[in-house]
Amino acid sequence: MTQPKIFLVPFGGTDKELAAFHYASGLSQKFGAHISVLHVLPDPQDFFTPYYALYGAPVYTEKTLDDVEAENKKLKNSAEEKIKTVSKTAKPAEFSFHSATGRIEDAIALRGRVADAVIMCRGSNESFTDTVGGVLTACARPVIVVPPGEKPAPYNNRVLIAWDGSIEAARAAGYALPYLDGSSTVRIFSRQDGENRNFPLKAQELAGYLKHHGIKAEEAPAPQNSENMTAQQALSAAAAEMDAGLIVMGAYTHHRLKQTVFGGVTKYMLYNADRPVLLAH
């Protein structure tokens, strides 16, 4: 399996988002990969509504445009300087800084198509759900969501794969292969709530697939008191018990009125996981 050689890291300029750059830097060192940092700025035209003069032609205030463009330039320069400063301690193999204007998810999805994975910091509002959902469906690449903070724990070669035999889970497991090797500790979490659904492929069948890639995997034991937990709580507990550096799972989404609606387990992990989560749609 080809190793990842380029990661896209969206960066809005806040300190808490540096977690994604730090995590990507660890992977950059491991694989000798390039980090492409993307700073997305709002389109100046979106900041104001034109008023309409004679004959209905829109009239824009140049001063308003100039002010917004000047603010965008300040934001871009500030974000770039912050990344350059942090790179001295994060020490990625190599990185570059880019900026774009427009809708965040569109810009990330476009640039993400020429990266091996998108690594982004977790947000705290519903717009983050739409961003991740938009990127997953339009990028054709996995998204690794990192908990916010200035410096997260580095990737530690310990991986928990959430498995239900679905297309999404299979795609996520496939995307995770470059991060695994014979020295990796890999566990497979497979649990279903209720009795009305049977997984089409068991954890043992995924373990057999991984074995052909030289990767030893075992089914994750049930966490203590798991009978009193929801599936998502048990998944989090299983990851904590093995000190997983990465959780791998399929992302189950559908769209309603241009909004992304995630399934219950996906949404829970997206907003509550205390460690990086690799999502694939």
Q: What is the pLDDT of residue 227?
A: 85
- pLDDT at position 67 is 82
pLDDT for 215 equals 96
pLDDT at 183: 84
pTM of the model: 0.89
Tell me what the pLDDT averaged over the chain comes to.
88
Of 60 and 208, the structure prediction assigns the larger pLDDT to 208
Mean pLDDT of all residues in 96-122: 96
Say if 1-147 and 156-281 have the same CATH topology. yes
Hey, what amino acid is at 34?
Answer: H
Domain chopping of the chain, boundaries: 1-147, 156-281
Least confident of 59-63, 250-254, 272-276, 277-281: 59-63
Mean pLDDT of 43-67: 62
Question: Predicted confidence band at 30 (pLDDT cuts at 50, 70, 90)?
Answer: very high
* pLDDT, tens digit, 9 for 90 and up, residues 71-88: 889 999 999 999 999 999
Question: Which CATH fold would you assign to the domain 156-281?
Answer: Rossmann fold (3.40.50)
Give the residue-averaged pLDDT of 35-54.
75
Q: Which pLDDT score is estimated for 153?
A: 79
Chain segment 223-273, per-residue pLDDT in tens: 888 889 988 999 999 999 999 999 999 987 555 434 444 578 888 898 899
In CATH, which of 3.40.50.620, 3.40.50.1980, 3.40.640.10, 3.30.43.10 is domain 1-147?
3.40.50.620
